[in-house]
Structure 1
Amino acid sequence: MKTDTIAAIATAMTNSGIGIVRMSGDETFEIIQKIYKGKKEKYFQEEKGYTIHYGYIVDGEETIDEVLVMIMRGPHSFTGENTVEINCHGGVYVMKRILETVIKYGARPAEPGEFTKRAFLNGRMDLSQAEAVIDVIHSKNEYALKSSVSQLKGTVHQKIKKIREEILYHTAFIETALDDPEHISVDGYGGELKVVVDKLLEELKALLISSDNGRIIKEGIKTVIVGKPNAGKSSLLNVLVGEDRAIVTDIEGTTRDVLEESIQLQGISLNIMDTAGIRNTEDIVEKIGVDKAKEHANEADLIIYVVDASRNLDENDMEIIQMIQDKKAVILLNKSDLATVVSKDMLKSYIEKPMIEISAKEESGIKELEQTLKDMFFHGDISFNDEVYITNIRHKAAIQDAYDSLEKVNMSIENNMPEDFYSIDLLDAYESLGSITGETIGEDLVNEIFSKFCMGK
């Protein structure tokens, strides 16, 4: 199939040392032939793939820039098509000028994500791998990058492919048996199929459970700092961020709105919120802040409860303790640099959560907090060698649909329904999982997915 030639700037549109203009399509080599000038005559149609050529980009008699031109021959390229990458100086004007020249001689501007879309359409990667490309670009931390690279290598693809193959085998067997009952019997097949379906349900459930950690890996841990006024919440935020982002005073109720920051702790992202001190108050504005604090705490992945260990526990602390009983939380006994009246043993009589003595003022206990948070969410170091994490909400929805369909198969087996009921729901599960890899997905959704990509990718 003949494809038109697309072009785009593949590096950031800012002045830098190097810039890349990328072309892909049937006329790629003809276009570069027209605008390249080197010391020796080059015939790019005859040059070997994965070679680099030093010279200049020219527009007629005008020399635009000194460049290195890398050529890649289809189908052994990212897009599966003939591809050229022009490595030029990274000035914004220079890159735009080269792109304009490429377009002038026959290419057209690429749409967002069109290079990766062509890689998908040409069978160079499945849809889950294509989506991992954008996740690699948007990775915010070490774990997100490792997870995205793992998916780019095909871990999700392989897992889904294996499950789909098993579903398809049993669907085909049932359909064949129904078409040829004289030679193939399905007597007692329901019991045999239930064993298979139960195993597949376990695998899908594990993937769904992984999506909780997967979301945290990709988006970060939604973390809310709570405590009564003047417990040291804002001081803690400033220590974690590494600068004075929150106002710290001795006046109670200084923090009235939610202050949000994103920070990195040992390779994981915390989207952290400093909230108003929780207490009963007649101040209308402060009360709004307290209500917001409770609302955010209810939606949080993690709550950091800061206790002022230099003051006795009161009804405000009791309210917070009750609020976090069923949440993932860590309790910090702050102001350990002062004479303390609240101990871990005292708190343990009310609640069982990880507890750490800290001093936000002297920045002590912070390393222990970092390790505790890492252990709470990832049970130690994450290994991406044998675990698949679902980080894409579209994938999670498709897996959930497949899970529901397989549960219907079990329901049909338990109710002694005819075998063709089994195959209907098995096929639904097969189709749902196929949407992850792109084998059963409409053109509109494909276009929507790739429209979120950056222009040169």
Structure 2
Amino acid sequence: MEQTSTVAAIATPNAAGGIGIVRISGGDAIAVADKVFSAVSGKPLNEAAGYSAHFGTVSLDGKPIDEAIALVFRAPKSYTGEDTVELSCHGGVYIVRQVLRAVLNAGAQPAGPGEFTKRAFLNGRIDLAKAESVMSLISAQGEQAASAAFNTLEGRLSGRIESVAHSIINVCAHLSAWVDYPDEDIEELSTDELEKTFSAAQSELESLISGFENGKAVTQGVDTVIVGRPNVGKSTLMNLLSGCERSIVTDVPGTTRDIVEQTVRVGENLLRLADTAGIRDTDNKIESIGVELAKKRLSRAELVIAVFDGAQELTDEDREIVDFCSGRRSLAVVNKSDLGFVCDTDYIKSRFGAYVELSAKTAQGGGELEKVLSDLLGTSNFDPSAAALTSERQRNCCVRALDSIKEARFALESGVTLDAVNVCADCAVDALLELTGERAGEAVVNEVFSQFCVGK
């Protein structure tokens, strides 16, 4: 995974703005910048100190194309750990692309997705958990999500993981020495000491995994489907939550036939929301296709919002939806509170763990919906100031480590030899160090950075 080339990319969004930034990183970054940038001072950037700014012009094919400020960072005190130059020019899309073209013509290679952050990882500037938090911070859509990502970037998650890993590493080292060198005067660890270490590690890992589940709706979003029979107000609710008319709203049952999807934020809860066709038996071939699509979409949803028309008696179709939601994480929304209720709300309450009454048309009850969602999804228990897992990859590493710790404790309780206990403990260490990147293979690293945008 060695990085030797000098790369460049536009580091600002691909849109017009006040400024645009072209970032160059690598052993020849300053030399490349000197070929296209001329400081008004007349001094080349090669003579500039790190953390210095220089005003001048950028040229393409010998012709000045824009005024710019060149920021020089010397290795290893840069974002990537390499020599880096950032050219800040005017933010027109065409101008920024021309500056990048000049830099590439001068010898730099186009940077791949996340390549600058990947180089920061490979050069030891950040670990893999911190690298992932960069992308989490960029994509954060709420205060709590941004706070959680920033705290991970500051190293709080890495600190918790390293603390657990080091406690187990110490046990592994001691057990290995005791097993491999029986003639040496190495004190045997007692069962109580091992149990205390493994128990503490298990508690910490369970806390991290629980925190991820509670914060998932904040940091990643929850795959959510709105379901109900036709014309109960599903599309009106979808439009209320999204703040715009994403779904067609009419008095004609069966209007929604395709699945309409939108990511919305309800308080701090991020929902990847899908409004499906009303579920009912129908002879309309087009509508029946929509109903089948809705059923398939429901099968993979993490949260189901079941909508009922409070102004009408419950139908067989309503009761079928109630049965479908049994055993799933679901929320019952009894709609049309502005018209008065005649449906059996007690029955609905008894079948759902979460329940709210509202008018999607007038938005009455919207605040209660936010509160109920937070309780249901666990976000009311989420503390963004605490170290938190921010990706499924990190969660998977912790789950594997937890399973290995449980196996080590079981082996210990069963009287298995200590070298077998050590094997389980070492597997836990491997999983934890994969999380931070210390033992992550190239495929894992490449997968992490493939999620980044070019220029970061």
**TM-score of the aligned structures, taking structure 2 as reference length:** 0.90
**Aligned equivalents of 1:297 and 1:108: distance in 2?**
46
Give the drift of 1:60.
Answer: 6.9
Matches within 5 A, 1:106-125: 106-125=107-126
Q: Is the 8 A contact 2:240 2:363 kept in 1?
A: yes
**Partner in structure 2 of residue 422 of structure 1:** 421
Q: Is the 8 A contact 2:214 2:382 kept in 1?
A: no
Q: Is the 8 A contact 1:213 1:389 kept in 2?
A: no
**Aligned equivalents of 2:37 and 2:271: distance in 1?**
49
Change (3 A) 1:346 1:401: closer
Give the drift of 1:89.
Answer: 1.4
**Partner in structure 1 of residue 412 of structure 2:** 413
**Partner in structure 1 of residue 254 of structure 2:** 253
CA displacement, residues 60-86 of structure 1 (integer Å, 9 cap, x when unaligned)? 752121011111122111011221100
**Partner in structure 2 of residue 38 of structure 1:** 39
SS of 1:80's equivalent? coil
Give the drift of 1:35.
Answer: 3.0
Give the drift of 1:120.
Answer: 0.8
**Aligned equivalents of 2:225 and 2:243: distance in 1?**
17
**Partner in structure 2 of residue 218 of structure 1:** 219
Q: Say yes or no: does 1:389 pair with 2:401.
A: no
CA displacement, residues 249-301 of structure 1 (integer Å, 9 cap, x when unaligned)? 33333333422222222233222222233344455554454444444344333
Give the counterpart letter for 1:429 in structure 2: A
SS of 2:312's equivalent? coil
Q: Is the 8 A contact 1:228 1:316 kept in 2?
A: yes
Matches within 5 A, 1:4-403: 4-59=5-60, 61-182=62-183, 183-186=185-188, 189-281=190-282, 283=284, 285-342=286-343, 344-345=345-346, 347-348=348-349, 350-380=350-380, 382-386=382-386, 388-403=387-402
Q: Is the 8 A contact 1:310 1:338 kept in 2?
A: yes
Q: Is the 8 A contact 2:223 2:302 kept in 1?
A: yes
Q: Is the 8 A contact 1:127 1:436 kept in 2?
A: yes
SS of 2:440's equivalent? coil
Give the drift of 1:163.
Answer: 0.8
Q: Is the 8 A contact 2:332 2:348 kept in 1?
A: no
Q: Is the 8 A contact 2:235 2:247 kept in 1?
A: yes
Change (3 A) 1:25 1:244: closer
Q: Is the 8 A contact 1:143 1:268 kept in 2?
A: no
Gaps of 5+ in 1: none
Q: Is the 8 A contact 2:331 2:354 kept in 1?
A: yes
CA displacement, residues 396-440 of structure 1 (integer Å, 9 cap, x when unaligned)? 222222222222212321232221112222111111111111111
SS of 1:337's equivalent? helix
Q: Is the 8 A contact 1:238 1:246 kept in 2?
A: yes
Q: Is the 8 A contact 1:191 1:413 kept in 2?
A: no
Change (3 A) 1:416 1:56: same
Q: Is the 8 A contact 1:334 1:359 kept in 2?
A: yes
CA displacement, residues 85-132 of structure 1 (integer Å, 9 cap, x when unaligned)? 000112233223222322333433323322112111111000111122
Q: Which moved more, 1:142-151 or 1:424-433?
A: 142-151
CA RMSD of aligned residues (A): 2.6
Give the drift of 1:339.
Answer: 4.1
Q: Is the 8 A contact 1:7 1:23 kept in 2?
A: yes
SS of 2:362's equivalent? coil
**Aligned equivalents of 1:122 and 1:366: distance in 2?**
49
Q: Say yes or no: does 1:404 pair with 2:403.
A: yes
Q: Which moved more, 1:279-288 or 1:136-145?
A: 279-288
Give the drift of 1:352.
Answer: 4.8
CA displacement, residues 336-355 of structure 1 (integer Å, 9 cap, x when unaligned)? 2224313644544x435443
SS of 2:351's equivalent? coil
Give the counterpart letter for 1:302 in structure 2: L
Identity across the alignment (%): 38
**Aligned equivalents of 1:144 and 1:431: distance in 2?**
28
**Aligned equivalents of 1:306 and 1:2: distance in 2?**
54
Q: Is the 8 A contact 1:2 1:26 kept in 2?
A: no
Change (3 A) 1:34 1:198: same
Gaps of 5+ in 2: none
Q: Which moved more, 1:352-361 or 1:389-398?
A: 352-361
SS of 1:312's equivalent? coil
SS of 1:380's equivalent? helix
SS of 2:88's equivalent? strand
Change (3 A) 1:116 1:2: closer
**Aligned equivalents of 1:226 and 1:443: distance in 2?**
42
Q: Is the 8 A contact 2:133 2:390 kept in 1?
A: no
**Aligned equivalents of 2:248 and 2:65: distance in 1?**
53
**Aligned equivalents of 2:379 and 2:109: distance in 1?**
50
CA displacement, residues 302-331 of structure 1 (integer Å, 9 cap, x when unaligned)? 222222122112322222223324333332
Q: Which moved more, 1:280-289 or 1:11-20?
A: 280-289
Give the counterpart letter for 1:97 in structure 2: Q
Q: Which moved more, 1:201-210 or 1:68-77?
A: 201-210
SS of 1:450's equivalent? helix
Give the drift of 1:220.
Answer: 1.4
**Aligned equivalents of 2:336 and 2:60: distance in 1?**
69
Change (3 A) 1:317 1:66: same
Give the counterpart letter for 1:250 in structure 2: D
Change (3 A) 1:61 1:221: closer
**Aligned equivalents of 1:371 and 1:265: distance in 2?**
9
Give the counterpart letter for 1:219 in structure 2: Q
Report how many aligned residue pairs link the two structures. 454
Give the counterpart letter for 2:449 in structure 1: F
Change (3 A) 1:450 1:297: closer
**Aligned equivalents of 1:33 and 1:49: distance in 2?**
15
Q: Is the 8 A contact 1:70 1:86 kept in 2?
A: yes
Q: Which moved more, 1:389-398 or 1:208-217?
A: 208-217
Q: Is the 8 A contact 2:114 2:451 kept in 1?
A: yes
CA displacement, residues 19-43 of structure 1 (integer Å, 9 cap, x when unaligned)? 1111122233333334332332224
**Aligned equivalents of 1:80 and 1:252: distance in 2?**
61
**Aligned equivalents of 2:13 and 2:288: distance in 1?**
45
Give the counterpart letter for 1:199 in structure 2: A
SS of 1:85's equivalent? strand
Give the drift of 1:213.
Answer: 3.3
Give the counterpart letter for 2:21 in structure 1: I
